[in-house]
Amino acid sequence: MSESKITVVGSLNMDLVVVTDQHPEIGETIIGKDFTTTCGGKGANQAVALKQLGNDVTFIGRVGEDLYGTEIVENFKSRGIKLADETPAENVSTGIACVTVGHKDNSIIIVPGANAHVTPEFLDLHKNEVIHSDYVLTQLEIPIETVDYLATICKENNIPLIVNPAPASALTNNILEACTYITPNRIELEQLKEYHRNIMDYQEKIIVTDGKEGCFYHQEDEVVRIPSFKAEVVDTTGAGDSFNGALVSELSRGKSLEESLKFANATGAASITKFGAQSGMPTREEVLKILEEAEYKK
Ligand code: RIB
């Protein structure tokens, strides 16, 4: 068990998942194959990834006043993830995500609900959790003002902050300056370039996930690629989240960036072999096995 304390500040969703062979065109109705509800949200998924990998995880986020909220709180309890505040936000629904799982891919629409109530004031109530963390991880399914405030707290207290800019939106200069790493996928990087003409001034902080190609980062104007691992795709939902959780897990253990990214790629590959964002998150032993087997095949 790692001694490091990781705090995730982010979203809690109930995922309403439709499995289908094809995505409908605009105006078209098609018959899907399956439907299920599972706990999700990029923040929650990243917390679960970290917990599965043996980390001590605290979560700052909010549920609404409904059964989805109750289920999400229970899910965290059963996994041993500490939720800083279980009190539901009044008169709002828990965040939901409509997830369409198609052939080897997915698309998602989220309705933030209580996640929009993770305000700077709410974060301030739980500031101590952040201040006593070794690493902090966040995403953009909560208000950007809150991410900005989180960046300020981390900067003032010298705490490494990893920002997963998903879904992509304009960041603040404070976030860009204060964060240790930003982890967009390729699409999100292009979107960030639209918001910030100068984003590549921060290239040494940017780690780009690139699907089955793995990931890459910049080092003194060189692009360093870390290849991925082969995996049978069942459901790619949450693959980016498992990557982010694993990256922070390894960094918190004092591993180098390159070692951490290799581990994160293996975690992402393992996560897509099972259905559901959270049920696919592998344990440390499972990830190490993938790494060992890859080494053996060399
Ligand atoms: O990254 C996958 C997650 O995105 C899903 O669990 C869904 O809730 C959305 O937040």
Residue 33 burial by Cβ neighbours in a 10 Å radius (0-12, 13-18, 19+): exposed
Nearest CA owner, ligand 1 atom 6: 40
Give the position of tokens 């790493």: 181
Cα atoms in the 13 Å half-sphere on the side-chain side of 18 = 15
What's the residue count for the chain? 298
Q: Please tell me if the CB atom of residue 108 comes closer than 6 angstroms to any atom of ligand 1.
A: yes
User: Mean per-residue pLDDT for 93-114?
Assistant: 92
Instruction: Report the percent of the chain where pLDDT is more than 90.
Output: 92
Cα(201) to centroid(ligand 1), Å: 29
User: Mean per-residue pLDDT for 86-101?
Assistant: 96
Note the pLDDT tens digit of each residue in 31-58.
999 999 999 999 999 999 999 999 999 9
Note the pLDDT tens digit of each residue in 154-204.
999 999 999 999 999 999 999 999 999 999 999 999 999 999 999 999 999
Nearest CA owner, ligand 1 atom 10: 41
- Whole-model pTM: value is 0.96
pLDDT for res 142:
98
Cα(240) to centroid(ligand 1), Å: 9
Q: Please tell me if the CB atom of residue 270 comes closer than 6 angstroms to any atom of ligand 1.
A: no
pLDDT for res 105:
79
Q: Please tell me if the CB atom of residue 97 comes closer than 6 angstroms to any atom of ligand 1.
A: yes
Q: Please tell me if the CB atom of residue 126 comes closer than 6 angstroms to any atom of ligand 1.
A: no
Nearest CA owner, ligand 1 atom 7: 41
Angle at Cα 69 formed by Cα 188 and Cα 92, nearest 5°? 80
Note the pLDDT tens digit of each residue in 57-91.
999 999 999 999 999 999 999 999 999 999 999 99
Q: Which residues contact 101 (CB under 8 A, 6 or more apart)?
A: 17, 18, 19, 20, 235, 237, 275
Q: Which residues contact 217 (CB under 8 A, 6 or more apart)?
A: 204, 206, 207, 208, 223, 224, 226, 257, 261
Nearest CA owner, ligand 1 atom 1: 238
pLDDT for res 103:
76
Cα(42) to centroid(ligand 1), Å: 5
Query: Is 241 among the residues known to form the active site?
Result: yes
Q: Please tell me if the CB atom of residue 141 comes closer than 6 angstroms to any atom of ligand 1.
A: yes
Q: Which residues pair with 95 in a beta bridge?
A: 13
Instruction: Report the percent of the chain where pLDDT is more than 70.
Output: 99
Q: Which of 42, 105, 185 to mutate to test the pocket of ligand 1 (most atoms within 8 A of CB)?
A: 42
Give the model's confidence band at 298: pLDDT under 50 very low, under 70 low, under 90 confident, else very high.
Answer: low
Note the pLDDT tens digit of each residue in 116-125.
999 999 999 9
Measure the CA–CA gap between 61 and 89, rounded to whole angstroms.
10
Query: Burial code of 254-268, b = ≥16 C-beta within 10 A, e = fewer?
Result: eeebeebbbbbbbbb
Q: Please tell me if the CB atom of residue 92 comes closer than 6 angstroms to any atom of ligand 1.
A: no
Cα atoms in the 13 Å half-sphere on the side-chain side of 206 = 23
